[in-house]
Structure 1
Amino acid sequence: MRIYFSCLFVFATMTSFAQLTPYENSGKKATTTYNEAISYYQALAKSFPKQTKLLSYGQTDFGKPLHLLVLSNDGLFEPSKIKQADKRVLLINNGIHPGEPEGIDASMMLARDILKNHKLPKNVVICIIPVYNIDGSFNRTSTSRANQNGPLAYGFRGNSKNYDLNRDFIKTDSKNSESFQQIFNIWEPEIFVDTHTSNGADYQYTMTLIPTQKDKLNPILAGYLTKTMLPSLYSEMKTKGFELIPYINAVKEIPDNGISGFMESPRYSTGYSALHNTIGFMPETHMLKPYDQRVESTYKLLQTYIDIVERDAKIIGENKAKADETTANQKSFAIDWKLNREQFDEIEFKGYAAKYKTSEVSGLERLYYDRNEPYTKTIKQWNNFEPALTIEKPLAYIIPKAWDKVIKLLKLNNVKVDELNSDVKLDLEMYYIADMKTAQKPFEGHYLHSVVKIEPRTQTINYYAGDYVVYTNQKTNRYIIETLEPQAPDSFFNWNFFDAILGQKEHFSSYIFEDTAAELLKKNPSLKQKLEEEKAKNPELIKSAYAQLEFIYKNSDYFEPTFMRYPVGRLVKEIKLDIK
């Protein structure tokens, strides 16, 4: 009887972990739903309790937690102990756009096969987010991606608040983003992979790849990425039958004219990961290839990442440690970039002939790709970026406690934040917003600012107990600087966190201020001279009594000093602060 029950237990365990995924059961035509994915991973974790845990973090806008499947060879599931054991963490994110679900299905099969075949790496802990945009995955149709070849039904790009979550890694409007950042900053992955499906031209490749932009990545990490990791990925995937090509970002209508690199700012997942010295990848399968081929190529690519990270675990860990140390001590930071249009490489490209014919819809000329005429040719790739703006970091940023969302996000991203113990006056460099452009239409719920021009001024500012101090001697310096410097493309300022400062709160009544202005000019000859100089430069000022009053007002003590003043101060001189 005991033998019978033992055999029954073994059979039940084998049945649970050998089960096919919903994708496989559909004949490889349907993608897994959210509920099916979580149930599958729950069964997998139950079958392999020593090597697998299914954890949950926070909430999403849909009211469900964000799950994380962790695969660990020796049963280490505490991030601190994993670091102590000198193991690497590979984080795989799926379903940020649920209409691009290859990673959801590939990760389920890969996790099962690794466990079933006892292939867990010794030096790598694998973390998988089954479905990130849970909201969008429930909004299933077969029509929202008009240009895509399968699966039968799939989720929608936007979440339940209609946010594109791959634009939300800085502004964090969604609970999904907040929970993701919790996962990311608890587990601190060295390598991050975010699975996607492409759009655009037709060509022979099933899988394209966007790595973290090499020029903005820490040089230590960039060297390993370009000289070791990318060549290995390209070589291995070619051997496995899925040759890679850089993401086809055509400079003109068709790829024959060349492609350019992609500069992912921190709003994107891999741009965000770069702020933390994590090498990121965005694999993009080709939308027109059959769904089963897209899933297979994703499966094999994820498998290749695991093999490479296991092979290079030691050097990847050493590089990350060096990059973090360098970032903590770094003085100058590039916060904006531009493409060098003079430099290019030449790469082999396997495409299809681009042709034109008369449209049956408009009667005009239309583009199409002829798959009966494949070709291999050399095309140009522009993929060298240069700093467009570089700043010197301050010793610290001082942030009034009123800006609580800023403080919350800094803390969420492992930034050490100190509090002032007592009230204090500080001589700081303060920025005034001298000019900027603001979008005329909202983007992801925001009227984004851009091309910000600042006017630095040294001022004595009152700060109070409970206000915050952020020193720039941290490995998170890039996150600190690219969010707190208003000129950075994805700064908190540009995402409208500080828009209240752009509104003037006090003004004057002309008939009363006339007398005050006259008195100011009598008592202050330099102000009167300044007004005359301005009138000489601007004849229109002479014609407007109100404009002259406005000029005097703005150059007097009556004008509010906080108007257009960015509230985050820059401490540039050493001073001992009374902090908690």
Structure 2
Amino acid sequence: MAVAQLTPFEQSKDKNYTANYSEIIAYYHQLAANYPQMKLMNYGMTDIGKPLTLIVLSKDKVFDPALIKKQNKRVILINNGIHPGEPEGIDASMMLSRDLLKGNKLPADVVVCMIAVYNIDGCLNRGLSRISQNGPRAYGFRGNSRNLDLNRDFIKADSRNALAFEQILNTWQPEVFLDNHTSDGADYQYVMTLIETQKDKQNPILAKYTSETLSPELYKRMKKSGYEMVPYVESEKGTPDSGIVAFLETPRFSSGYTVQHNIISYITETHMLKQYDKRVYSTYDFMDHLISVVERDHQQIGRLKQQADASVAQQKTFALDWDLDESHFDTITFKGYEFGHKPSEISGLPRLYYDRSKPYTKTIKYYNTYKVTATADKPLAYVIPQAWGKIIDLFKLNKVTMHQLSHDTTLNLQMYYIADYKTSQRPYEGHYTHSAVKLNPVQMKVKFYAGDYVVYTNQAINRYIVETLEPQGVDSFFTWNFFDSILGQKEYFSDYVFEDIAADYLKHNADLQKKLDAEKAVNPKLGASAAMQLDFVYRNSPWFEKTYLRYPVGRLLTDTKLDLN
């Protein structure tokens, strides 16, 4: 293979071919063999049994992440093939790597890291599955080998792919992240659309820079390249004419997870109906421009990242969920196609169609304001029993600083009781997720054990800590069923035995008798049911288990001297 050999995409006559997994890895190995500024590194093991391959491009041949940080260089992490049916980033990254190396164009102050293909599982499952997409001729499948959508897996990390990704992210600690995708949905004139971290959930220090400097520069440069961009087209009421809505990427998504680490994050979404070669070349141009602007602003981006980290370490209140604010909107110029309805040849009923012979340029509404619907004030520290091993493992992977109790300790702290919640009726990504969580906070003494973990909330990674551990969070660990075992009662009573015990207990506890009588007066069902009354006494007695519905992670609100390892 020649040093500057064309990629499999470039070799195809119609430019409608995407490289398969073996071609991708072989191409990068050959490139690395000829250029010492490039190195392949394998991380973890994905669900399909192959390691995640990271391509690192470093102008001065430094491949030590710690040394790169000491040199005050920026790191960009680019993710490709999370949905292998959307492979533009795979082919574009192969070409861009070669061109940067061959042309001696690697930036001096930016190290570029590219995940060659993230969903290796889906990439190997090659065929046709995205019927609404215009090429390439064959491509991978959206789900991985466990049929997980990996772009819904970041915060819960069910897949080994996600664990390998989190190892990469927390080893290289990029300041900028990009995930390459292909859109679906409406038809319009643009080849490229863009998702940027929603401004109301991004750290304000970073949001000011991205909204005022970085994003406008990327839009300007892409237009000059011939690929004018528009924000990702998610329609408010079915078609773009009604307005489009800024995508809210919560932590289940790649960019929602990376923003918890105070990383500037983007998702490219090329349009599914445009020719494949145009989608690839537009992705190439976007990555090239992003690298160039980050190189230009590397010092400023470094300072802003440090400021954001320091700010989050001191932040007291954290947003946990958001809703679209439909009362506020911007206006943008949008280039679309007229749409209409005509009888379906299948059903005879009206069907939507777009008429490409009737392009238009209109001013439309862009809804880009979200209001916070749930918040939590951080405690001084969280106390996590060591029994919850997956949480401990994920915290370690995400470089959360933790300490362990050196001996058994009874702490006076705030515990949550789960007062109410809703659970989805159908599984979503392998989980019956919880929502609408209501909490009853109680200050109480709880015994913790030697080896249990104490997590102080004075860290740059506070958003990850708080958003995962506060049960009411949209993508909290509670939402994703990490704690479902606490939702089941473990001990009960034999009614004929407890009858005598309960009667005696009521004789010696007049207040409980009054409480029972008052409840019977307003609840006829209780008054008519001996079993319900017995259960009422049991639940208000010292024999009822204190751990039922008690969220096991404690919130330490006051500065308490602890013996820690």
Counterpart in the other structure of 2:280: 295
- Equivalence map 1:46-57=2 (5 Å): 46-49=33-36, 51-57=37-43
Which of 458, 461, 486 is the equivalent residue of 1:476? Answer: 461
Q: Deviation at 1:67?
A: 0.5
| 2:69 is equivalent to residue 83 of structure 1 | yes
| 2:33 is equivalent to residue 39 of structure 1 | no
| Letter of the 1:522 counterpart | K
Which of 183, 196, 200 is the equivalent residue of 1:215? Answer: 200
Counterpart in the other structure of 1:307: 292
TM normalised by structure 1 equals 0.97
| 2:436 is equivalent to residue 412 of structure 1 | no
CA contact 1:16–1:47 (8 Å) conserved in 2: no
Q: 2: distance between equivalents of 1:553 and 1:87? A: 63
Which of 499, 512, 534 is the equivalent residue of 1:527? Answer: 512
Q: 2: distance between equivalents of 1:254 and 1:398? A: 48
SS in 1 for 2:309: helix
Q: Deviation at 1:512?
A: 1.0
Q: Deviation at 1:16?
A: 2.9
Q: 1: distance between equivalents of 2:518 and 2:316? A: 40
| 2:160 is equivalent to residue 140 of structure 1 | no
Please list the CA deviations of residues 474-507 of structure 1 after superposition, one character each: whole Å capped at 9, or x if unmatched. Answer: 1110000011000001111110111000000011
Counterpart in the other structure of 1:149: 134
| Letter of the 2:492 counterpart | H
Q: 1: distance between equivalents of 2:370 and 2:245? A: 10
Q: 1: distance between equivalents of 2:520 and 2:380? A: 41
- Equivalence map 1:512-523=2 (5 Å): 512-523=497-508
| Letter of the 1:78 counterpart | D
Counterpart in the other structure of 1:463: 448
Q: 2: distance between equivalents of 1:387 and 1:252? A: 22
Q: Deviation at 1:252?
A: 1.1
Q: Deviation at 1:387?
A: 1.1
Q: 2: distance between equivalents of 1:302 and 1:442? A: 36
CA contact 1:209–1:245 (8 Å) conserved in 2: yes
| Letter of the 1:61 counterpart | D
Please list the CA deviations of residues 78-129 of structure 1 after superposition, one character each: whole Å capped at 9, or x if unmatched. Answer: 1111111010000000000000000000000000000000100011000000
Q: 2: distance between equivalents of 1:478 and 1:363? A: 52
Counterpart in the other structure of 2:369: 384
Q: Deviation at 1:338?
A: 1.3
Counterpart in the other structure of 2:7: 21
| 2:235 is equivalent to residue 250 of structure 1 | yes
SS in 1 for 2:313: helix
Q: Deviation at 1:23?
A: 0.7
CA contact 1:206–1:293 (8 Å) conserved in 2: yes
CA contact 1:149–1:288 (8 Å) conserved in 2: yes
Counterpart in the other structure of 2:49: 63
Q: 2: distance between equivalents of 1:423 and 1:17? A: 62
Q: Deviation at 1:537?
A: 2.1
Q: 1: distance between equivalents of 2:557 and 2:518? A: 34
SS in 1 for 2:2: helix
| Letter of the 1:552 counterpart | V
Q: Deviation at 1:384?
A: 0.4
Which of 188, 194, 197 is the equivalent residue of 2:173? Answer: 188
| Letter of the 2:401 counterpart | K
Counterpart in the other structure of 1:105: 91
Gaps of 5+ in 1: 1-14
SS in 2 for 1:386: strand
Which of 327, 342, 359 is the equivalent residue of 2:344? Answer: 359
Gaps of 5+ in 2: none
Q: 2: distance between equivalents of 1:374 and 1:456? A: 57
Q: Deviation at 1:347?
A: 0.4
SS in 2 for 1:213: coil
Counterpart in the other structure of 2:155: 170
Q: Deviation at 1:42?
A: 0.6
SS in 2 for 1:17: coil
Please list the CA deviations of residues 439-464 of structure 1 after superposition, one character each: whole Å capped at 9, or x if unmatched. Answer: 11110000000111010001100111
Q: 1: distance between equivalents of 2:430 and 2:79? A: 24
| 2:249 is equivalent to residue 264 of structure 1 | yes
Q: When the two structures are aligned, how many residues end up with a matched partner?
A: 564
SS in 2 for 1:16: coil
Q: 2: distance between equivalents of 1:401 and 1:18? A: 53
| Letter of the 2:85 counterpart | G
Q: 2: distance between equivalents of 1:62 and 1:565? A: 38
CA contact 1:91–1:193 (8 Å) conserved in 2: yes
Please list the CA deviations of residues 160-196 of structure 1 after superposition, one character each: whole Å capped at 9, or x if unmatched. Answer: 0000000000111100000000000000110000000
| 2:381 is equivalent to residue 396 of structure 1 | yes
Q: Deviation at 1:431?
A: 0.3
Please list the CA deviations of residues 250-306 of structure 1 after superposition, one character each: whole Å capped at 9, or x if unmatched. Answer: 011211111111111100000000000001111000000000000010000000100
Q: 1: distance between equivalents of 2:435 and 2:317? A: 21
Counterpart in the other structure of 1:6: none
| 2:116 is equivalent to residue 130 of structure 1 | yes
| 2:449 is equivalent to residue 448 of structure 1 | no
- Equivalence map 1:484-499=2 (5 Å): 484-499=469-484
- Equivalence map 1:310-349=2 (5 Å): 310-349=295-334
Counterpart in the other structure of 1:3: none
Q: 2: distance between equivalents of 1:152 and 1:329? A: 52
SS in 1 for 2:447: strand
SS in 2 for 1:516: helix
CA contact 1:209–1:284 (8 Å) conserved in 2: yes
SS in 1 for 2:512: helix
Counterpart in the other structure of 1:554: 539
Please list the CA deviations of residues 506-554 of structure 1 after superposition, one character each: whole Å capped at 9, or x if unmatched. Answer: 1111111111111111111111111112112212211111111110000
Cα RMSD between the aligned structures? 0.7
| Letter of the 1:256 counterpart | D
Q: 2: distance between equivalents of 1:537 and 1:41? A: 73
* Off by >6 Å, runs of 4+ in structure 1: none
Q: Deviation at 1:55?
A: 0.5
SS in 2 for 1:397: strand
SS in 1 for 2:525: helix
Counterpart in the other structure of 2:78: 92
Comparing 353-362 and 221-230, the one that deviates more: 353-362
Q: 1: distance between equivalents of 2:42 and 2:289? A: 27
SS in 1 for 2:545: coil
Identical positions, percent:
60
Q: Deviation at 1:17?
A: 2.2
TM normalised by structure 2 equals 0.99
Q: 1: distance between equivalents of 2:94 and 2:43? A: 19
| Letter of the 1:58 counterpart | G
| Letter of the 2:79 counterpart | N
